[in-house]
Amino acid sequence: MNQQASKQTFNLGGWNVDPLNNCLRRADEPETIIRPKVMQLLVELVENQGQTITREELIERVWQGNEYVGERGLTDAVWQLRKCLDSDTKHSPYIETIQIPVTVY
């Protein structure tokens, strides 16, 4: 993640995102504070908007490959982002989950 970009405030839909203070703001609503790693995940997704990023890549980039985070930690962080950004945690206009079939032997 670009350290300089991760400190700049930016807009996402109707949200004002402040990575330095880990908060999201929307007009006429109180600000929402999110955990630093959840904010780092959001910044990583925004910086790579329009690209497909694998779970492994996100764990490597946001959690520096920490094996204890695993897929469950990433899934929880994505769920938290969806919950903060919109009311529908399964059909988010901001975060799209793409499931690719995997062949197992």
- Structure confidence by residue, pLDDT tens digits, 29-87: 899 999 999 999 999 999 999 898 988 899 999 998 787 877 888 999 999 998 888 76
Please say whether the beta carbons of 20 and 7 come within 8 A. yes
Contacts of 66 (CB under 8 A, 6+ apart): 59
Q: Residue 105 above 60 pLDDT?
A: no
Q: What is the CATH number of the domain that holds 39?
A: 1.10.10.10
CA 75 – CA 58 distance, rounded (Å): 11
- Domain extent, residue 78, equals 5-85
Q: How confident is the model at residue 93 (pLDDT cuts 50, 70, 90)?
A: confident
Strand, helix or coil for residue 33: strand
- pTM, two decimal places: 0.82
Q: Is residue 99 part of a domain?
A: no
- In the prediction, which pLDDT does 102 show? 59
Q: Is residue 101 part of a domain?
A: no
Q: Is residue 37 part of a domain?
A: yes
Q: What is the DSSP string of 67-95?
A: TTTHHHHHHHHHHHHHHHH-S-SSS-SS-
